[in-house]
Amino acid sequence: MARHNHFGSLGEDLAVDFLQSLDYEILERNYRYLKAEIDILARKDDLLVVVEVKARSSGHLKPIAETVSKKKIALLVMATDNYIVLKHLEVEVRFDIITIEKTQTTYKMEHIKDAFYYF
């Protein structure tokens, strides 16, 4: 596995651990529909939380959360709609981003709730 893929997977593991520590129920990881992939689908109370995980090393100029494109958002919404229909869910949906930035020896994590809206 390429080094960046390994770090991305580690980032998702850290995000899952973080969410579980806050009593989120993890429903799916790496849910795929057509060309879309949702990193984490979780449930918190009566809310379906769609989580995009962005992990990278420090030293970039652009904030990590700003790297989620309009195209990626459209794909996330499409896959979420598919998941809701497939599972016959009647829930409110929230789209979050968890950013993980690696420095030499530590990880800095930020959880951005309601990172974007789907309408």
Which residue has better confidence, 103 or 82?
A: 82
- DSSP strand pairing (47-57 vs 92-102): parallel
Q: Does domain 3-112 have CATH number 3.10.129.10?
A: no
- With a pLDDT cut of 70, the percent of the chain lying above it is 83
Cα(96)–Cα(40) distance, integer angstroms: 10
Count of CB atoms situated within 10 Å of the CB of 92: 9
Cα(118)–Cα(94) distance, integer angstroms: 9
pLDDT tens column, 3-46: 545 555 788 999 999 999 999 999 999 999 999 999 999 999 99
pTM here is 0.86
Q: Where are the domains of the chain?
A: 3-112
